[in-house]
Amino acid sequence: MSAKLQRRASIGGIRNRTTDSPEMTLDDYYHVVAKTILCNQNPLTGLFAAGKDTDHAWVRDNVYAIMAIWGLSLSYKKHLDQMENWTKCYELEQVIY
């Protein structure tokens, strides 16, 4: 089995992550989602634009974007042992609704 398949995403805050570890935490995924998806959300309509320089939005793109956010919020909800995870879970759920 390749090293890529053997990697598992560790849970942020539960396991200590070293700087040379290739594992991604939930916080890493949160920052990726924030930089790529949440920055394109329209504050009035809640829709995700096709890009930063356009105003139109595609239904397919919005469904994929909201599914990624919903999946990340479910991951945070599964590990609500820390207050930081609770706040990020709540924030992601508010973006969905």
Residue 15: both structure tokens together: 């396991």
Tell me which range, 6-10, 51-55, 73-77, is most confidently predicted by mean pLDDT.
Answer: 73-77
- Is the pTM higher than 0.85? The answer reads no
Question: What value does the mean pLDDT of the chain take?
Answer: 78
**The pLDDT of residue 18 is above 90:** no
CB 78 within 8 A of CB 14: no
The model's confidence at residue 65, banded by pLDDT at 50, 70 and 90, is very high
Mean pLDDT of 64-87: 89
User: Residue 19 has what pLDDT?
Assistant: 55
